[in-house]
Amino acid sequence: MRITYPDSTPPHAQSVEDRARALALVERICGPLDVATRRTGAVLQAHGAALAWVRETTGRYPSPRPVADAIQQTAARLRDVADDRDPHQVLLRVAEEALAEHMAARSS
């Protein structure tokens, strides 16, 4: 059974402007954020978006364990401020690849 959430926008559907407004609000409340905090926030948002994509694609919750683990492991590495890759692109690609691998393993 597929669960839909018609009254909410999935996290990965948020625009760049929406994320920027949210970050500006946090900075008004907490003060200026350092680079590590900004990076962690971006990775957490991308992590949630990748899991939401898996949920929407499979129609199931929670995500299959191997897929969730692959996303989690990659997200942990992406929190390093020296990693300049886009967390959204990387985690969505990891989610796609891990889900494809999981589905292939289940069908064989």
User: Within 13 Å of residue 82, how many CA atoms lie on the same side as its CB?
Assistant: 1
pTM: predicted TM-score of the whole model, two decimal places: 0.76
What's the pLDDT score for residue 19?
A: 74
Distance CA 46, CA 79 (A): 11
Region 95-105: mean pLDDT is 96
More confident residue, 11 or 76: 76
Q: Which pLDDT tens digit goes with each residue over 21-41? A: 887 888 899 888 889 988 998
**Is residue 36 classed exposed, middle or buried when 0-12, 13-18 and 19+ CB atoms within 10 A define those classes?**
exposed
At 48, the pLDDT band (50, 70, 90 cuts) reads: very high
